[in-house]
Amino acid sequence: MDEIDKQIINALQDGFPICDAPYRQVATQLGLTEQELIGRLKALLDNGTLTRFGPLYNAEQMGGALTLAAVKAPKQCFDEITEIINSFPEVAHNYARSHELNMWFVIATETPEQIQQTISVIEQQTGLTVYNMPKNKEYFVNLKLEA
């Protein structure tokens, strides 16, 4: 990742313009062409520096639901369990933890009822208990990570 890539990441964490040509607008602000910006974003996604580039929606405000969930995945089949859980379109992200509950993931669904349905199917497919940890209160941190 070079300095231009860092500038792109830092700039886009503050938001993405809603206009007819958002990539062009960001590119101009960064002193790039639209195609340079798009090419660099594609490269950052392709090489794994970025795992996702897109909007973040508030599922609950749209009538949906989300929850934090975790499982105790046996080390010998951790990768297999990861593949199963990540195959669900409702799983937003999944990460390993150094804890008894060693795999944590977010489930986002179109309706609140689908949370338990998704958990049940994950339990059936993995043979593991899914620990559901819905939020009690939401805090807005506005975290920005400088690249």
| Helix pair angle (22-30, 34-46), 10° resolution | 100
Delineate the domains of the chain, giving CATH numbers in brackets.
3-46 (no CATH), 60-133 (3.30.70.3460)
Q: Could you tell me the end-to-end alpha-carbon distance of the chain, in angstroms, rounded to an integer? A: 9
Q: Which tens digits make up the pLDDT trace of 11-21?
A: 998 888 999 99
- The CA distance from 5 to 44, in Å, is 8
Model confidence at 93: pLDDT above 90: no
Residues 89-93 have a mean pLDDT of 90
On average, the pLDDT of the chain sits at 91
Model pLDDT, residue 147: 66
For residue range 104-135, list pLDDT tens digits in order: 999 999 999 999 999 999 999 999 999 999 98
Q: How many residues are there in the chain? A: 147
78 has pLDDT over 70 = yes
